Amino acid sequence: MRLIILLVSLLYLTSLNAQDDWRLYSSEDSTIDNSISSDSIYYLQDGNVVIIADNRIDTLVSYLDDNPPLVNGYRVQIYFGSRSNAEKRKAAFLKKYSDWPIYIVWQQPDFKVQVGNFMTKIQAEKVQHEIISAYPNAYPIYTKVIYTE
């Protein structure tokens, strides 16, 4: 047993001596190149970049432009009821307020007139307060909206 302990300790001590001691090297022996300074910065000249890409990427980009993604968000609902009245409310809203997009959404059995594409409820409530005098029954609703940056 003593022999095994002695062999293990000798093996451990020899492995410690096999490692390089970092204190033996001076900073002059370092391989780090510190010769780059602000005086040696090169400025690039104008050139041409050629992008080789699959044509399907352009198709995908045009599809996403035509069909933007839907995300969870808020709109302000100003009316629900019959289709003819919904179209009248939409036209009246567009005459008065043209800052926000307006949508007619059909959800059985009614048509809903909804305003805006807002990512947060606070944004929707700000619009609600702006239009509350003309549309006292307007309220924000949680729904799918078109993502805008």
Model pLDDT, residue 28: 57
pTM: 0.57
Question: Which residues, including other chains, have CB under 8 Å from residue 16's CB and lie 6 or more apart?
Answer: none
Q: Residue ranges per domain, the chain?
A: 69-146
Which residues in the chain land under pLDDT 70? 10-45, 149
Instruction: Please identify which residue in the block is written with the tokens 């780090």.
Output: 32
Q: Do residues 68 and 134 lie in contact, with contact meaning Cβ atoms separated by under 8 Å?
A: no
Q: Which homologous superfamily does the CATH classification assign to the domain defined by 69-146?
A: Sporulation related repeat (3.30.70.1070)
What's the pLDDT tens digit per position in 11-33?
A: 666 665 555 555 555 555 555 55
